[in-house]
Structure 1
Amino acid sequence: MPTRILLWADAASMVLICIAFVLTVYRIVRGPTLPDRVLGLDVLVSIAIGFMALFAIKTGYALYIDIAIALGLVGFLATVAFARFILVKGAQASAVQDVVEEGDTPLGMTPRTAGGRHE
């Protein structure tokens, strides 16, 4: 009886993980913004970790748990790197917007005036 329950739980878990995988890939492809896609990739790493844990339970090999832990670390570092990229990109866009609103020219750009140079 416990073996039968484990088989049903394994099959149900595999189906749910596959559904979550498909929905997450859809979100990554259709995500309207970059943070949506980064979050989708983070969820995709979590789904892969769950799949590896499920596979480790099914096969009985503990090595898959070690691989899942390493994948979790890599996924975390990738998410932090993407978040930093988004933060820097947003700060640069905000700085350019502030300069444009003040009527000044951003650093490294020359004003387009009709008769001379800006000194």
Structure 2
Amino acid sequence: MNNNQILFCVSIILISVIFIAIGLFLKKYPPKEINYFYGYRSKKAMKNIEQWNYSQKKAALELIRSGILILISLVLVYFLPDGNYFTPYILFLIVIITLFPYFYTVYKIEKALKKAFTN
């Protein structure tokens, strides 16, 4: 494994640990009141306290799942080729592997909110 692949592994592990840690923290200490500082905040989530509490629980679970998925994606490292051309692609892969679960998490939470609260 070359230095770029090691950087890739460390980056992905760090990102996945952050996702999992935030999810666990949000699960253990969900915000009690609607606020603009901490918790899952979207227009739908902040509409009322019921939607707020529901979205916090859902966000915690989705963040943990996303962190685990990011960690599993680390397997890709073993299929990436070695060589000088690897450097530009490493940043692109880190961005894609990080952003996809983030946006998918937001999508899942918003979809669940829409399904649970049809008003």
TM normalised by structure 2 equals 0.45
Bigger relative contact order (CA 8 A; separation at least 6): 2
Q: TM-score, normalised by structure 1?
A: 0.45
Normalized per residue, the structure richer in helix is: 1
Return the index of the structure with the highest Cα Rg. Answer: 1
